[in-house]
Structure 1
């Protein structure tokens, strides 16, 4: 449904005839011609099949997906200070999941500003971003320097100052804890997509019955006309 509306909106704004034809070809209104109803039904079926396939593949290749997520986070850690949007995304992720790095705070050693090498002259050396810091509810102002020198402390002391769990394990834990909710969302989306498809099939059947009745009425009218002509 989103793709259909998006195609129509962008097509109208950009005066793109291809997108407008695409949107019209998937028109699912009751007044739409049978070919449009058929296209819309097929389109929803394809989307549903792709979602189902993605869900199965995600379960089968969950270890591969975890590895890809690990590489993705680490690559973004390297570019943390180079892109403000990427920086905000990482900060939001670490604050939301209460995590630090992909599998732990030491992953920040990949960043040139936070690594612990002797050649690093940055004040953030051996530290972590402020989004890794544990939050004090009494503090109204965010301390952006709370992660300085955090990784130089013993692990026991680190747990008091920063989150020591990685974002990949935290995401897996969240997914397991909310598996019922996530499954319910996917089932709900599938039902929402299936409902228009069922409606399309019902509408197509109704249109066929209506056309059949009109055809029979037309045949009867023609027969009456011929009979009247013969009688005259």
Structure 2
């Protein structure tokens, strides 16, 4: 039954000229069925700008992966989207690294267990930048050369909620040691204990997060409804947050001294 209707549709499109007027491809001769129609329709829609998602809606697919199969573009949108996300994340990490370097130049030093190694890396970049400026003064006002020098450092950056993780050596990553996966290629940022990890640093932009955590814990501690056991657990958490804030302030004072 559906085959006969599709045959009538093909004849009607050709007879009325609507196929050419609507920009539809010619339906080949021979038997047609519903699956062939859906596949051809998906391919025709997907070729247009934003067409893959439009085809998903028109064909009522639950997942865009199904539409990609119909349109003969497996992995298309998902792969492109992932590539765009990774590219945007890489550029964002470069910008954050440049900002941290500018803080270093202005004596706003990082704090945390990984601060020393980061300061040493920035000092080498600063020396190289000054050496390059002797032959080309324009590099002092152009961040392009600076970004190229810091790009390798930025590739190790993983952004945490209240710290930066410079993941250079998996063997030194505290999160991987705690998880029992010391050979992993990426850190477990959600398990990061930045106050103890030798690759973590705290910067002035992280100070509000730690002060907010300390203030929030203080509110709980002042509540009479908090059990004694929970109070004992929260006290070390508040002390750690206050210690990190003090270290950030001390590092800034040390840099400006």
Report the TM-score range of the alignment, normalised by the length of the smaller protein. under 0.3
TM-score normalised over the length of structure 2 = 0.23
